[in-house]
Structure formats: structure tokens, C-alpha cells
């Protein structure tokens, strides 16, 4: 019996009923991974250690909750003794001496890390085209991008070779690829999941999250990923509920907000049609729709492209060729060491953002850009606070359209930046948001975004699960069959 | 034409916490390179800083002792620049919201008092060290010091000459050691300072262009560097040119300052709030606890020594001037009721030895405990004052234990009066002509007899007993 396209829930019961051993499951997983190498979803595989762990699990009587579940880890999380590149040439030989908290949490719950997934370099990109390790294929079509930056994770889950993957979302990097690959992805509230061991892009926006086939699987993963971590002072010291507990509760009478300022008229009519059908579906489930105004939301993209590059310009300063990572050959002097190491180690998009970030923080410009952007960010947050007094969740398309061809937006970074139009506001406000498959445009999947109030991941998952119980978009596979 | 000098100091005080400002790494000095470095100190990808509250408590003590504004909520910023011994490519510091705001400190220059205002004191992490002379053609980086907590104390430009600058630095050092927030060890770099110097004509309202001399770590060098810099600036201006705003380095070997980089070459540090650290809030309970347990400060000690230990003002001032000296005084006083005796030794013999060696008490081999034992032995009459003096000199050189010296050299004072009487009688019998002269009115000869007894006993006789016995015998 093939394990391809199986959910975590399916696999757990197969393991418990001894339909398959842990070792068989992992071996089978690697057979699948190796049959799909053309996706280029992985940068580094963890085969030997994974099989070893599976063998060990077979010899144990009682496993932990996620014992033996194969999971792909975004190559942005530090994994002890396993190469971590962050999609960059700069870290092509970096082997961390420690693991990220979220990796430890998942592995302690029994998950088996099968490998490190491809991604946009340092998570900067929306198509996975900025990876030093090459483009990732979207299983839904030749030469289609999987989205980014968690493109490898999305592609791996979408192709059914792993049931789950980790991602990180700074401006949409979980939700946008989830949308483009037809899977479910959740960005939790900022601070829900520890950032310890996540290679920082923009510290005040970065948040890890689960990517899986279903909202229910995301809830199962989230239960293990969250923790209050003393090693991360921005990690929230809040009660962590059982995120699976209420997902079956009906949503009848609950309120969904539609953001007035998200101008859908500029989108492809097919995209709008899919969105309107989802609205109708939610109506049929008993939800009420309210139009909500978020007056400052149109400033999200420019605000993001000040804050994120500013933080990244500083966060990436440590890659200087002195202590770890790449160092250029035969530096003539210190300046030469810096210039050539960083010129050779970073790709164009990373350099572009370091330049933007250095500029907006420089003397004389700080007040006009960075400080102002932080003020606007506060206004956007206030808009959301107002909105959630009236509604339970906000709803929008996740992306402006389905997956596009590789190279089609390469020449104009602004076009690429606009990919994240709908996803960026949740990051700026630190709010949880998810994307679920809600239809197809040109036979390519597309996603629906739900944004929740602070700490209300459970409610988002409840909305998503109710949708998935009554639709089959998430069950469709690229090869055409329904699971 | 008369020139006026304007000086401001930025003093970096290494706070004596066990672990670093943002990691559990040890702050111990002198370890093998790169052995006191954890993941955070190394700035590995993915690591995050966690602020050490102990550093805040120590900073607050300084603020309270300088009557400063304390910001119970303070925050961290990043100062971005590249340097090999700066692991993250930025230093975490407090730019916008420092823990300590405006305060002041009193200094004493040749007996006259002056108040120097402090602009702010903020927490920041130290960098590592670049080692240029160990590997041929290469630079080594030692990150042991990276992340060590520093309190940077910034003065107003209110210091008028090198002497005042040194007095100010000394006052800060005195304070931080009394507060137990820094060991004050300048040789190990626990205190360093940057000096801003400019000159202007007396009548001028505006300050002149300043030069910043970086990283000086001794009183002597502060004085020399400032004096060199003043003369250099006067020379420049008087020759019709103008001073360039720049960072300079003091070369102690050549006794000169040299340009490091000009304003144009200066870094744009691109400060911004550190997104990895939330603002640190010190609760009222924490604050009050620090306030209620503030160590006794020099002024308070001085007053107490006068009122409780009956010291003269001058004595009390000298003894309370350094924490080590004050500790010595207090420990020795716990072994004797005679606080005057303790004060006399500290202000007299000990200070004389310090002066002749030109060192500070912290640098001497005389431990507080050893000094207390010395006083105890004088007090319980085990040794005479004269012997004590020679023991002090020996301890000064060797640091040996006082009791061991007394035992090894048989220096215990002769207490048995019958023995002393026997010796005194022998001296009288052998010097009958002097006895006659004494009795005939030459009182001064009494000293001769005392001296002879002391010589015979190799100084081990109790002088008071000798006096009494001789008086008795000679006047009978």
C-alpha cells in the first residue's frame, strides 16, 4: 500500500495498526523522495540518521504522539550535525552544532527529519528562484514555481512524498507556496513558536509554522511546535491549547470579515470566481460576512520593504567570512576578505535587500524610513484590533493568482514583491494566518487566506477544517487522481 | 592668548557578573583563547540574546550612587559595523533608552571639590580581541571577552584639564569598586576610557572641534594623552590651521596621539532597536531591593569612621578612599578595640610603603587578613611595634603569613617582666658612669638605657614595660 499522499493522521493509524513498520515507512519515504529528485525539493537528505531512528522506534513499545512521522525541515532551521544552508552559497558547508527549538520539539515528539528543503536564499523570495541550489519544481506543472520562500517544503508535501514539512513565514513564505502548491500552511501568532535556531531574516516578522495536506494535520503539528522558550525573549509565555480540540466545532453564526481595501477587481476573473465560491461555501456552513475597512492596509507592502530589509541588513552582517560559513580564497586584506566573501557568498536578491536595509537605516534617513515604517506598522496593527472587535476571522485570496512560470517575474523585483500583497499584513501585525486550497485556475491550485486574532490559531483551524470536511480541493493531487 | 580646554570622558566599566550580558558564557579573565565562548557569543546563525538581569542591577547601583535618573524600562539597540572581533557584525547597546540617565559625581582636585555631571550610563556588550602578533601575516580572534557586560558612563564636557580628568576617572573607579559592580582592575582592562578633547578661547561660547582618543586604560596615560593632545591642538590653531574632527590613538611608548580615522571615514552605525530583545522592565520590588541593599559609599564610611571610630577627618578620608583600604581597616578593627592604632598603621607605615613603591593598595601583596593579624599581634602584645614594622616590610615584599614570620624568626615579644628586669639590671650594672650622669640630671640618658635593653632583646621587649622597669630601677 503506497504511503504517497497520506496524511499524518493516516500514517499514525497505519503505524499503530502495524500495517507498516517505522523502518518500512521511512524506507518507503526515501524511495518516494528519490523518485522525485527532479523536483529539487531537498538540498540535503538525512537518510542514514532517519533510518536509524526508525529502526530504534520499531524496537520500542510506546512511541510518542508523532512517533515515526517523516517530516521535511526547511533548510533555515539549524539541525545539529546536519548541514544547514539557508539556500545560500554562504552556508554551503555549515554544519550547526545545535538544533533549533522547533526541530527539537518535533523530534522529541517522535518526528523523523528526512531532509532539509530547498528555499529562497535566506528566505528572500516568492518563487524559490533565489536559491543557490537551483529552482524547485511545482508538482502541478512543468517549469512552474512552487512559490517561496518555503518552496521546497511546499513542493515536497504537494507531491505527497512527505506528509508534512516545516516552513517559515516573514511576509507570506508559508502561505504563498501553500497556495501555489495546493496544500495547507499556517503562520502562527508571532512568538508562538520559538525562533531559537531559526536563521534570522527579519527578526520582528519571522515565524515558523507547519505545512501539511490538511488543517487537522497542521493542528497536530502545531501542538508539538509551540513552546515557551527561555532562549527567545520574544517567545510568548501564553497558554498553549490543544489545537485539534475544537476544529470539529461548527462555525454557524460566526463572522467573517472581507477587507474592503483588498481590491479584487484587479485580479484575474477566474481567481475572483474561486474566491466568491468559497464565500458562498462558508455561507452554506452558516458563517456571516461583514465588510471591514483596514484604512492603512495599502501601506503594508512599502512598510514591509523598509522593515524587513533593515533587519536583514543587520542580521546578515555576521556572514563575514571570519567565523563560519564561506570565506573567499586568498584574501589580500581585511576589506578584501569582507568584500569578496560577501560578494561571492550572497545572491542578487539578498544583496538588493541588504542595500535597501542599509540605506533606510543610515544617518539622515532613519526617521524618514525605518521610524516611519514602524509607526505605520502600529497603525496597521490598530486597524486589525478594531476589525477583530467585529469579526472572528478575515478572509482574502492568499495570492493574486496561481503558480507562474519560472523566470516570468525575474526582471522586475517590484512585481515579485507584490506577490505578497495579501500575506504581508498579518506579519506586520504579528497575527496568525493560514492558507487552504480553495479551487483551481487553469488547472493550477490556488489558496484561500484566513487571518485570525492574536493567539486564535484554534479558530482559524476550526474554519479551515470545517471547509475541508465539506470540500475536496485539498484531496486533489497533481497526478490527477483524488486521494 | 589664553586657551581653555574642554574634556568629556566615556568610561567603559566591565561589570562583575558571572556570565555575559546575553549568554551563559563565563566572564572569567585569562582563560585560553576562545574557551569562554558559547553559541551566542560566537554569533552563530539562529542564536538569540537573552538579557542578564544581574547587569541591570549593577547598573542601577551606579545610578543610585550618582543620584541619577533610573529608567526602569530600558531597551537595546544595534550598532552596526564590521570588525573581525565583533562576531555578529553589530554590537548590542542602549542608544535610545539607557538604564541610567542624568546624574553627577563629586571629584577632588588638590583638595578642592568639583561636581562633574554624567549624561548617561548605558549597558552594552564588549567585543572580542584581535591578536596581531601571534601568527605571521595573520590576525587571530579571541572571543572570550565578546559579550562581557560593560557600563558605558558618559560625562558632560565639563572637565577642564588632565588632572581633573584623572580625578574624575579615579572617582568613578572608587565608586564602582565600592558598589561592588566592577573589580576596577585596569591592567586587565576592567576599566577603559575614551577621551574627547577640544580647546577654545576663554571668551568663546562655542566649543572647539574635538578629537576623540580611544581606549586608554591607565591614569598616567590619560594625563599624558590629554596633555599631548592639548598642546597639539594649540599648535595647530596657533599656526593658523584648524583641528580636524577625528578618532585618535594614544601611543604610550612614543607618548603621542595618532590619527585613526577622520570623521569622513567614520562608520555610520545605522542604529536601530534590536528586534531580538524586548524592552527590559525592572519591577518596583527589584528596584527597591537594590536601593535598600546599596553598599556603604566612601562619604558614608568617612563619616562613620569619624563618629564611631574617632578618627581624624584626614585619616578617615584616606582610609575610606579605597575599598581595599576600607576593608582592611574594618577587618583589623574587628580584631582590636584600638581603631586609632589601626588607622595609624594604615595612614602611616602602609601609606608610606605605597608611596615609595608608587602603587595602589590593590596592587600590594598585603592582604586584608594578614594586616588584621598583624594588628591583632600588636594589640595582644605578641609583638612590639618595632618588630611589627619589620614584619610589615617583609610581608610587603613576600606576601608571607604574619604568624609564620613571627614563629619562624622567634619574634614573640618578651612579656615576662622578671626577664626584662634581669636584663635592665645587667645594663645598669655595666654602665655605672651613665647611671651617675643620669642621676645627676642628664634626663636624656634615659633613652640610652631603653636602647640598650632593646638591643639586648633584639627589639622583642615591650617598650612600655622597659620604660616602667628602668624608671623603677634608676630612680630607686
Q: How is residue B326 written as a grid cell?
A: 576600607
B residues 172-211 closer than 8 Å to A (CB) = none
Residue A299's Cβ-count burial label (10 Å; 0-12, 13-18, 19+) is middle
pLDDT at position B29: 87
**Could you give the percent of chain B with pLDDT greater than 90?**
66
Place of cell 628602668: B470
Q: How is residue B282 written as a grid cell?
A: 525592572
Q: How is residue B72 written as a grid cell?
A: 526602569
User: Is B42 within 8 Å of chain A by CB?
Assistant: yes
Structural contact between residues A179 and A399, judged by C-beta atoms closer than 8 angstroms = yes
Q: Which tops the pLDDT comparison, B335 or B416? A: B335
CA gap B148, B276 in Å, rounded: 18
Q: Which of B80, B139, B271 sits opposite A317 (nearest CB)?
A: B80
Band of residue B1 on the pLDDT scale cut at 50, 70, 90: low
pLDDT at position B120: 98
| CA angle in degrees (0–180, nearest 5) for A15-A17-A19 | 70
CA gap A428, A301 in Å, rounded: 10
Provide the 8-state DSSP code for A120.
Answer: S
Helix (H) or strand (E) holding A156: helix A151-158
User: Is B137 within 8 Å of chain A by CB?
Assistant: no
Structural contact between residues A105 and A224, judged by C-beta atoms closer than 8 angstroms = yes
- Is the Cβ pair B45, A199 closer than 8 Å? yes
- Is the Cβ pair B82, A317 closer than 8 Å? yes
How many CB atoms within 10 Å of residue A333? 8
Closest CA to A186 of A200, A199, A204, A167: A167
A14: in domain? yes
CA gap A185, A169 in Å, rounded: 10
Phi-psi region of A135 (alpha: psi -120 to 50; beta: other; left: phi over 0): beta
Residues in chain A: 483
Q: Where are the alpha helices (DSSP H) in A17-149?
A: 22-35, 47-58, 101-108
Q: How far is A345 from chain B (nearest CA, A)?
A: 15
Range of the domain at A83: 8-251
Residues of A whose CB is below 8 A from B48: 195-196, 231-234
CA gap B90, A254 in Å, rounded: 48
Residue B410's Cβ-count burial label (10 Å; 0-12, 13-18, 19+) is exposed
Q: How far is B40 from chain A (nearest CA, A)?
A: 10
Band of residue B337 on the pLDDT scale cut at 50, 70, 90: confident
- Is the Cβ pair A366, B271 closer than 8 Å? yes
- Is the Cβ pair B88, A91 closer than 8 Å? no
Sign of CA dihedral B322, B326, B327, B329: positive
Q: How many domains are there within chain A?
A: 1
Please, what is the end-to-end C-alpha distance for chain A in angstroms?
A: 13
pLDDT at position B417: 81
H and E: helices and strands count for chain B:
17, 15
- State the number of CA atoms in the 13 A half-sphere of B246 facing the CB: 16
Q: How far is B187 from chain A (nearest CA, A)?
A: 28
User: Is A204 within 8 Å of chain B by CB?
Assistant: yes
B279: closest chain A residue by CA:
A233
State yes or no: cis peptide before A458, omega within 30 of 0.
Answer: no
Q: Which of A86, A310, A317 sits opposite B90 (nearest CB)?
A: A317
SS3 B188: coil
Angle between helices B323-333 and B368-379 (to 10 degrees): 30
Pairing of strands A70-74, A112-117: parallel
A419: in domain? no
Q: How far is B39 from chain A (nearest CA, A)?
A: 8
User: Is B140 within 8 Å of chain A by CB?
Assistant: no
pLDDT in tens, B192-240: 999 999 999 988 888 899 999 999 989 999 999 999 999 999 999 999 9
Band of residue B187 on the pLDDT scale cut at 50, 70, 90: confident
Sign of CA dihedral B226, B228, B230, B233: negative
pLDDT at position B406: 86
Closest CA to A116 of A80, A149, A62, A153: A153
A278: in domain? no
User: Is A340 within 8 Å of chain B by CB?
Assistant: no
Q: Where are the alpha helices (DSSP H) in B179-296?
A: 219-238, 284-292
Q: How is residue B336 written as a grid cell?
A: 582590636
Residues of A whose CB is below 8 A from B78: 314
Q: How is residue B137 written as a grid cell?
A: 601575516
Residues of A whose CB is below 8 A from B43: 318, 323
SS3 A476: strand
**Could you give the percent of chain B with pLDDT greater than 70?**
100
Preferred mutation among A77, A99, A230, A323 to probe B, highest tally of B CBs within 10 A: A323
A464: in domain? no
A188: in domain? yes
B91: closest chain A residue by CA:
A314
pLDDT at position A480: 72
- Which residues, listed in sequence order, are joined to residue A16 by a DSSP beta bridge? none
State which fold the B417-474 domain adopts. Arc Repressor Mutant, subunit A (1.10.10)
CA gap A10, A12 in Å, rounded: 6
Residues of A whose CB is below 8 A from B47: 196-197
- Is the Cβ pair A203, B275 closer than 8 Å? yes
- State the number of CA atoms in the 13 A half-sphere of B442 facing the CB: 10
Query: Is it the case that residue B471 has pLDDT exceeding 90?
Result: no
Q: How is residue A102 written as a grid cell?
A: 522547533
Question: What phi and psi values does residue A450 have, to the nearest 5 degrees?
Answer: -120, 130
Lowest mean pLDDT segment, chosen from A431-445, A457-471, B364-378, B444-458: B444-458
A residues 142-201 closer than 8 Å to B (CB) = 195-200
Q: How far is A251 from chain B (nearest CA, A)?
A: 36
User: Is B131 within 8 Å of chain A by CB?
Assistant: no
pLDDT at position A204: 97
Q: How is residue B22 written as a grid cell?
A: 546575553
SS3 A202: coil
Query: Is it the case that residue B53 has pLDDT exceeding 90?
Result: yes
CATH number of the domain where residue A104 is located: 3.90.1300.10
Q: What is the mean pLDDT of each run of 10 residues along chain A (483 residues)?
A: 92 94 97 97 98 94 88 98 98 98 97 98 96 98 96 98 98 98 98 98 98 98 97 97 97 97 91 97 98 96 97 98 94 95 97 97 93 97 98 97 90 79 97 98 97 98 98 92 71
- State the number of CA atoms in the 13 A half-sphere of A281 facing the CB: 21
Return the active site residues of A: 74, 149, 173
Residues of B whose CB is below 8 A from A316: 89
Structural contact between residues A54 and A68, judged by C-beta atoms closer than 8 angstroms = yes
- State the number of CA atoms in the 13 A half-sphere of B105 facing the CB: 33
> In the predicted model, what is the mean pLDDT of residues B51-68?
98
CA gap B15, B56 in Å, rounded: 10
Question: What phi and psi values does residue A352 have, to the nearest 5 degrees?
Answer: -60, -45
Q: How far is A309 from chain B (nearest CA, A)?
A: 12
pLDDT at position A416: 77
Preferred mutation among B19, B33, B80, B270 to probe A, highest tally of A CBs within 10 A: B270
pLDDT at position A1: 63
User: Is B261 within 8 Å of chain A by CB?
Assistant: no
B280: closest chain A residue by CA:
A233
Please, what is the end-to-end C-alpha distance for chain B in angstroms?
A: 78
Contacts of B39 (CB under 8 A, 6+ apart): A97, A98, B23, B47
- Is the Cβ pair B44, A324 closer than 8 Å? yes
How many CB atoms within 10 Å of residue A390? 11
pLDDT at position A410: 67
Query: Is it the case that residue B266 has pLDDT exceeding 80?
Result: no
| CA angle in degrees (0–180, nearest 5) for B289-B64-B221 | 130
pLDDT in tens, B146-159: 999 999 999 999 99
User: Is A343 within 8 Å of chain B by CB?
Assistant: no
Q: How is residue A443 written as a grid cell?
A: 488547472
SS (H, E, C) B393-407: HHHHHHCCCHHHHHH
Amino acid at each position: 500500500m503506497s504511503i504517497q499522499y497520506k496524511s499524518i493522521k493516516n500514517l499514525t493509524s497505519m503505524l499503530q495498526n502495524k500495517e507498516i513498520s517505522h523502518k518500512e515507512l521511512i524506507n518507503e519515504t526515501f524511495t518516494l523522495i528519490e523518485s522525485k529528485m527532479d523536483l529539487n525539493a531537498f538540498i540535503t537528505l538525512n537518510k542514514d540518521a532517519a533510518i536509524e531512528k526508525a529502526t530504534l522506534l520499531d524496537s520500542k513499545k510506546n512511541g510518542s504522539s508523532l512517533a515515526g512521522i517523516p517530516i521535511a525541515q526547511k533548510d533555515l532551521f539549524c539541525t545539529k550535525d546536519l548541514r544547514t544552508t539557508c539556500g545560500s552559497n554562504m552556508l554551503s558547508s555549515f554544519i550547526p552544532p545545535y538544533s533549533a527549538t522547533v526541530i527539537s520539539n518535533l523530534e522529541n515528539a517522535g518526528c523523523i527529519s528526512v531532509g532539509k528543503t530547498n528555499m529562497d536564499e535566506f528566505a528572500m523570495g516568492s518563487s524559490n528562484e533565489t536559491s543557490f541550489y537551483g529552482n524547485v519544481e511545482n508538482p502541478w506543472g512543468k517549469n512552474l514555481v512552487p512559490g517561496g520562500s518555503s518552496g521546497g517544503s511546499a513542493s515536497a508535501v504537494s507531491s505527497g512524498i512527505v506528509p508534512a514539512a516545516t516552513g517559515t513565514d516573514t511576509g507570506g513564505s508559508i502561505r504563498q507556496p501553500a497556495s501555489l502548491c495546493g496544500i495547507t500552511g499556517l503562520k502562527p501568532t508571532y512568538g508562538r513558536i520559538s525562533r531559537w535556531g531559526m536563521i534570522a531574516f527579519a527578526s520582528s516578522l519571522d515565524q515558523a509554522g507547519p505545512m501539511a495536506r490538511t488543517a487537522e494535520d497542521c493542528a497536530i503539528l502545531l501542538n508539538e511546535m509551540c513552546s515557551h522558550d527561555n532562549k527567545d525573549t520574544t517567545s510568548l509565555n501564553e497558554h498553549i491549547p490543544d489545537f485539534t480540540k475544537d476544529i470539529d466545532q461548527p462555525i454557524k453564526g460566526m463572522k467573517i470579515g472581507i477587507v474592503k481595501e483588498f481590491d479584487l477587481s484587479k485580479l484575474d476573473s477566474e481567481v475572483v470566481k474561486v474566491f466568491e465560491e468559497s464565500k458562498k461555501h462558508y455561507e452554506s456552513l452558516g458563517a456571516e460576512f461583514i465588510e471591514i475597512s483596514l484604512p492603512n492596509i495599502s501601506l503594508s507592502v512599502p512598510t514591509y520593504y523598509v522593515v524587513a530589509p533593515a533587519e536583514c541588513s543587520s542580521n546578515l552582517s555576521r556572514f563575514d567570512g571570519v567565523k563560519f560559513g564561506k570565506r573567499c580564497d586568498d584574501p589580500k586584506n581585511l576589506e578584501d576578505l569582507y568584500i569578496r566573501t560577501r560578494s561571492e557568498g550572497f545572491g542578487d536578491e539578498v544583496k538588493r535587500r541588504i542595500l535597501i536595509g542599509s540605506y533606510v537605516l543610515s544617518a539622515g534617513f532613519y526617521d524618514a524610513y525605518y521610524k516611519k515604517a514602524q509607526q505605520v506598522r502600529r497603525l496597521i496593527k490598530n486597524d486589525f484590533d478594531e476589525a477583530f472587535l467585529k469579526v472572528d476571522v478575515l478572509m482574502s485570496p492568499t495570492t493574486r493568482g496561481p503558480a507562474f512560470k519560472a523566470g516570468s517575474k525575474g526582471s522586475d523585483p517590484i512585481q515579485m514583491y507584490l506577490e505578497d500583497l495579501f500575506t504581508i499584513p498579518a506579519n506586520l501585525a504579528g497575527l496568525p494566518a493560514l492558507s487552504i486550497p480553495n479551487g483551481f485556475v487553469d488547472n493550477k491550485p490556488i489558496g484561500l487566506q484566513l487571518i485570525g486574532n492574536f493567539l486564535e490559531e484554534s479558530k482559524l483551524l476550526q474554519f479551515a477544517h470545517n471547509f475541508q470536511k465539506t470540500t475536496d480541493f485539498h484531496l486533489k493531487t497533481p497526478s490527477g487522481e483524488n486521494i | 592668548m589664553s586657551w581653555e580646554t574642554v574634556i568629556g570622558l566615556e568610561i567603559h566599566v566591565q561589570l562583575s557578573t558571572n556570565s555575559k550580558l546575553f549568554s551563559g558564557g563565563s566572564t572569567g579573565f585569562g582563560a585560553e583563547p576562545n574557551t569562554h565562548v558559547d553559541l551566542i557569543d560566537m554569533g552563530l546563525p539562529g542564536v538569540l540574546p537573552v538579557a542578564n538581569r544581574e547587569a541591570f542591577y549593577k547598573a542601577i547601583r551606579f545610578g543610585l550612587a550618582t543620584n541619577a535618573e533610573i529608567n526602569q524600562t530600558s531597551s537595546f539597540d544595534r550598532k552596526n559595523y564590521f570588525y573581525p572581533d565583533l562576531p555578529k557584525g553589530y554590537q548590542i547597546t542602549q542608544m535610545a533608552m539607557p538604564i541610567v540617565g542624568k546624574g553627577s559625581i563629586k571629584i577632588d582636585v588638590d583638595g578642592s571639590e568639583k561636581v562633574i555631571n554624567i549624561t548617561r550610563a548605558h549597558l552594552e556588550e564588549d567585543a572580542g580581541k584581535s591578536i596581531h602578533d601571534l601568527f605571521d601575516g595573520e590576525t587571530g580572534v579571541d572571543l572570550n571577552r565578546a559579550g562581557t557586560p560593560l557600563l558605558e558612563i558618559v560625562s558632560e564636557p565639563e572637565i577642564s584639564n588632565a588632572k581633573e580628568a584623572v580625578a574624575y576617572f579615579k572617582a568613578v573607579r572608587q565608586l564602582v569598586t565600592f558598589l561592588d559592580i566592577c573589580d576596577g582592575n585596569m591592567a586587565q582592562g576592567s576599566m577603559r576610557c575614551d577621551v574627547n578633547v577640544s580647546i577654545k578661547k576663554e571668551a568663546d561660547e562655542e566649543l572647539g572641534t574635538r578629537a576623540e582618543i580611544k581606549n586608554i586604560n591607565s591614569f598616567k596615560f590619560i594625563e599624558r594623552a590629554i596633555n599631548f593632545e592639548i598642546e597639539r591642538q594649540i599648535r595647530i590653531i596657533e599656526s593658523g590651521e584648524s583641528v580636524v574632527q577625528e578618532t585618535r590613538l594614544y601611543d604610550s611608548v612614543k607618548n603621542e596621539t595618532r590619527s585613526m580615522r577622520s570623521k569622513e571615514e567614520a562608520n555610520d552605525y545605522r542604529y536601530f532597536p534590536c528586534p531580538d530583545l524586548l524592552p527590559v522592565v525592572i519591577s518596583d520590588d527589584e528596584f527597591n531591593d537594590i536601593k535598600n541593599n546599596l553598599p556603604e559609599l566612601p562619604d558614608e564610611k568617612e563619616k562613620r569612621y569619624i563618629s564611631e571610630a574617632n578618627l581624624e577627618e584626614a585619616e578617615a578620608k584616606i582610609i575610606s578612599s579605597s575599598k581595599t583600604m576600607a576593608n582592611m581597616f574594618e577587618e583589623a578593627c574587628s580584631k582590636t578595640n584600638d581603631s586609632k592604632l589601626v588607622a595609624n598603621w594604615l595612614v602611616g607605615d602602609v601609606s608610606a610603603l605605597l608611596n615609595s613603591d608608587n602603587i595602589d593598595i590593590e596592587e600590594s601583596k598585603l592582604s586584608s587578613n594578614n594586616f588584621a593579624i598583624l594588628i591583632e599581634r600588636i594589640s595582644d602584645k605578641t609583638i612590639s611595634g618595632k618588630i611589627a614594622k619589620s614584619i610589615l616590610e617583609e610581608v610587603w615584599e613576600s606576601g608571607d603569613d604574619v604568624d609564620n614570620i613571627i614563629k619562624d624568626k622567634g619574634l614573640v615579644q618578651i612579656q615576662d617582666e622578671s626577664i626584662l628586669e634581669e636584663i635592665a639590671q645587667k645594663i645598669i650594672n655595666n654602665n655605672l658612669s651613665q647611671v651617675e650622669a643620669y642621676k645627676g640630671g642628664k634626663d636624656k640618658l634615659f633613652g640610652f638605657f631603653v636602647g640598650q635593653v632593646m638591643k639586648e632583646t633584639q627589639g622583642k621587649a615591650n617598650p612600655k614595660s622597659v620604660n616602667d622597669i628602668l624608671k623603677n630601677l634608676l630612680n630607686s
